Amino acid sequence: QVQLQESGPGLVKPSQTLSLTCAISGDGVSSNTDAWNWIRQSPSRGLEWLGRTYYRSKWFNDYAVSLKSRITITPDTSKNRFSLQLNSVTPEDTAIYFCARGPSYFDFWGQGILVTVSS
Amino acid sequence: DIQMTQSPSSLSASVGDRVTITCRASQTINVALNWYQQKPGKAPKLLIYAASGFRSGVPSRFSGSGSGTDFTLTITSLQPDDFATYYCQQSSITPLTFGQGTTLEI
């Protein structure tokens, strides 16, 4: 059974960088068939897909256009996990952040982590 | 981006009822449409993939249909555990996008 677990700080100051990690068990971040996604949820934005990383003989990333200048998703093959970095955060980035397995539909999700952007 | 519009936004029903939730895409997505159920404080749970694909372990009272731009999720004989929020999601092109949700209330 695939399990995903998010971790990281629950409070980030405005203008700083939000950094989260998703640990994978039961599957591999280097899988040739899966993709590893970050999704967030807030009352104002609903469910919002942020981006994904995946391996198809080499590593690829796709990002939401609205975040493209601020977001980086990075695989860590040594620890079988992947990470999210979101730069220059504002209170609008306050949300529950989920990691999920793709590539098209999301069949396994982490439990989510609430990240609040506040000074 | 492909916009996904669900209707209704909320729905009141009773145990034993049959309900239908609709999802419309702003452009054609073939059958690249997935449905999720979410309960408070939990992550969404995949119910249906590729418009009508049954996920193992999901009760057979859940079914999906549609193609192109119009899709439906049908729940026959509502059970108490089914009262939740339901989302559609298109997987045709990035950015992958979700509907705004339909809350099913008793």
pLDDT in tens, A78-113: 999 999 999 999 999 999 999 999 999 999 999 999
Rounded (to 5) percent helix, strand, coil in chain B: 5, 50, 50
Write down the pLDDT at residue A104: 93
Contact B98 A107 (CB under 8 A): no
> What local confidence, expressed as pLDDT, does residue B14 receive?
95
Chain B positions touching A35 (Cβ under 8 A) are none
* pLDDT of the residue at A43: 94
- Residue B39: what residue type? K
The distance of B46 to chain A (nearest Cα, Å) reads 6
Average pLDDT, stretch B80-90?
Answer: 96
Neighbours of A44 (CB within 10 A): 8
Q: Which residues of B47-76 are buried (b: 16+ CB within 10 A; e: fewer)?
A: bbbebbeeeeeeeeebbbebeebebbbebe
Q: Do B34 and A47 touch (CB under 8 A)?
A: no
Mean pLDDT of B73-84: 95
Structure confidence at residue B106 (pLDDT): 83
Top residue of B9, B96, B103 to mutate, by most chain A CBs within 10 Å, is: B96
Amino acid A107: pLDDT: 96
With a pLDDT cut of 70, the percent of chain B lying above it is: 100
Q: What's the rounded mean pLDDT across residues B44-49?
A: 98
Pairing between β-strand B70-75 and β-strand B19-25 as defined by DSSP bridges: antiparallel
Cα–Cα–Cα angle for A100, B58, B51, rounded to 5 degrees: 70
Q: How confident is the model at residue B91 (pLDDT cuts 50, 70, 90)?
A: very high
Assign B87 a pLDDT band (cuts: 50, 70, 90).
very high
Peptide bond into B8 cis (omega under 30): yes
- Residue A3: its H or E element: strand A3-7
Q: Give residue-wise pLDDT tens across range A27-82.
A: 999 999 999 999 999 999 999 999 999 999 999 999 999 998 999 999 999 999 99
pLDDT given at position B82 = 96
CA distance B95 to chain A (A): 5
Prior bond of A103 cis (ω within 30°): yes
Pairing type for strands B10-12 and B102-105 reads: parallel
CA distance B70 to chain A (A): 18
Q: What is d(CA B3, CA B25) in angstroms, rounded to the nearest whole number?
A: 6
Are B95 and A49 in contact (CB < 8 Å)?
yes
